Amino acid sequence: MPDGAASARPASVPSDDGAVSTTPAPRPRRLAPPFAGATPRPGTDVPVLPAPQPAPSGAWQQGDEPGRRRFCDVGTLELESGLEIPDVTVAYETWGTLAPDGSNAVLVLHALTGDSHVTGDAEPGHPTPGWWSQMVGPGAPIDTDRYFVVAPNVVGGCQGSTGPASPAPDGRPWGSRFPHLTVRDQVGAEIALARALGVTSWHFVVGGSMGGLRALEWALCGPEAGVDVESIGIIASGAQTTGDQIAWAHPQIAAILADPHYNGGDYYENADGVGPHVGLGIARQIAHATYRSATELDRRFGRIPQNAEDPLRGGRYAIQSYLDHHAHKLASRFDANSYLVLTQSMLTHDLGRDRGGVESALASITAKALVVAVDSDRLFQPIESERITRNVPGAWPLQVLRSEHGHDGFLIEFDQLGPVVRHFLKRLVTRRG
C-alpha cells in the first residue's frame, strides 16, 4: 500500500452516552525467537536467514498497544442467519469535529485486509501508515478540517473489532465457533456505532473494494434504521459477487483450511511459529495476483531472476519473491480466521437479495452516488461499476481511473481519484446550499 503523508491528530468526538469503552492498557508483545543462523536456499549459493517465528495470529488483542483506536461496545449483534454475537465491540478512529447540526459526518470503509487506520503515520499500535492518507486529512479531498471522519474496523476483522480472535463469552477465543457474517451484518454493527457517536446522517459514505460493498448496503440499510445517507462513493466495487470472484476466492479459502496448523480454526493458543501462516500466505499470493494487472506484473518483473538466484537451480524469479514478500507481510499482521470470515462474507454479497433483484435494489437508492472504476481492474471489472451507475437514479456518470496497476489503482492513483472525490463533495455542498 502507498505511504501516507498526512499525520493523524486526536479528534474531538461527540458524546456517545457512555458507549465508548476505556482504552485497555498495553501489554508486551511476545518476542520472536532469535535466528538460528543462515542456510542456503536449495539449489543456490545464496544464504537465507530463517524468518522470525510469528505468533499464531497477527490479530490485535486486548492489552496490545491501542494506537489511535477507540472502542465502542454496541451490544448484541443479530445476524441474518438468525444467530447472535453478544457483547460486540467496534474499533474505530475519528478525525475532525462533528458539526452542531450533524451535517458533516463522513464514513470511510476499508477493504479486505485494511483497518481503521485510514490516515496517519506508522506508529505504536499501527505498524503500517494509513492506507488512504492522501485522500483523508487536513486539506485533502476528504478534508478533516471540514468533515468529521469516522473509520471503523469491520466486525469479523482482527484489528480491534469483535472477530474470531476475540474472547467469546466463556473467555476463550471464538475460533471455529465464530459465526458466518454477511455484509449486512457488518453494516448493522456500524449502524449501532453511528448511533453511539450521535451521528444521525452521513454526508458521504465511501469505500473501495470490500468497503464499497458495505457502502452500497449502507445506502439501503442506513435509512431503514433511521440513519440518513446523503451520498455514497463506490470505488472499484460491485453490487453482487460474480462467479469469477467466487472462483478466485475458492483456492484462497482452501489454502487456509488445508494448512496443518489451522486446526479447524482453533490455533490461538499454539506456540509461536505454529499457526496457519503458510495457508494464509498462499491465500494472499493468489489474491495479490488479482489486485494487480498482467501488464504491470510483466513490465515490472517479467522473467527477471531474484537477485543472484538462478531459477534453473531452484532459485526464484523476482515476481515469486514479490509474492513471497506480501505473503509473509500479511501473515505477520493479520488473522487467518478473519481472512476466511471476511472473504466468505464477500462471497454472499448480493444487494438484491430479498429486495427484488440487484437492479430493483439499486433503483431504490436515494443517495447521490459517485461510482469509480479502474480500467485495468480484473477483480472488480468496470462493467460491474457501470451496472451501478446505470441503475442508481442519483448516480453521476461513471468515473474511470486510467491505470496499469489493476484493482489496487484505487490505493495508488491519487492524482486522478483525489480531484474526482473533491469535485463530487464540492458539488454536493453547492447543491445543498
The whole-angstrom separation of Cα 115 and Cα 109 is 8
Are 237 and 216 a contacting pair, CB within 8 Å? Answer: yes
Show the CA angle centred on residue 289, arms to residues 285 and 293, nearest 5°. Answer: 160
Active-site residue, from 143, 377, 403, 405: 377
Active site residue 110: no
Active site residue 407: yes
Sign of CA pseudo-dihedral 334, 337, 342, 346 = positive
Q: Is 172 known as a binding-site position?
A: no
Are 74 and 196 a contacting pair, CB within 8 Å? Answer: yes
Contacts of 367 (CB under 8 A, 6+ apart): 205, 219, 229, 230, 231, 232, 394
Cell of 158: 482482527
- Among 173, 172, 169, 153, residue whose Cα is nearest residue 161: 153
227 burial via Cβ count (<10 Å: 0-12, 13-18, 19+) = buried
The whole-angstrom separation of Cα 143 and Cα 425 is 10
Element holding 346 (H helix, E strand): helix 336-347
Integer angstrom CA distances of residue 77 from 89, 92, 191, 268, 277 = 10, 17, 11, 24, 30
Active-site residue, from 57, 116, 209, 338: 209
Are 313 and 140 a contacting pair, CB within 8 Å? Answer: no
Q: Is 408 known as a binding-site position?
A: yes
Are 369 and 232 a contacting pair, CB within 8 Å? Answer: yes
What does 354-396 look like in DSSP terms, one character per residue?
Answer: TTT-HHHHHHT--SEEEEEEETT-SSS-HHHHHHHHHH-TTBP
The whole-angstrom separation of Cα 181 and Cα 341 is 7
- Among 19, 145, 156, residue whose Cα is nearest residue 85: 156
The whole-angstrom separation of Cα 327 and Cα 232 is 32
Binding-site positions for substrate read 284, 408
* Active site residues per annotation: 209, 377, 407
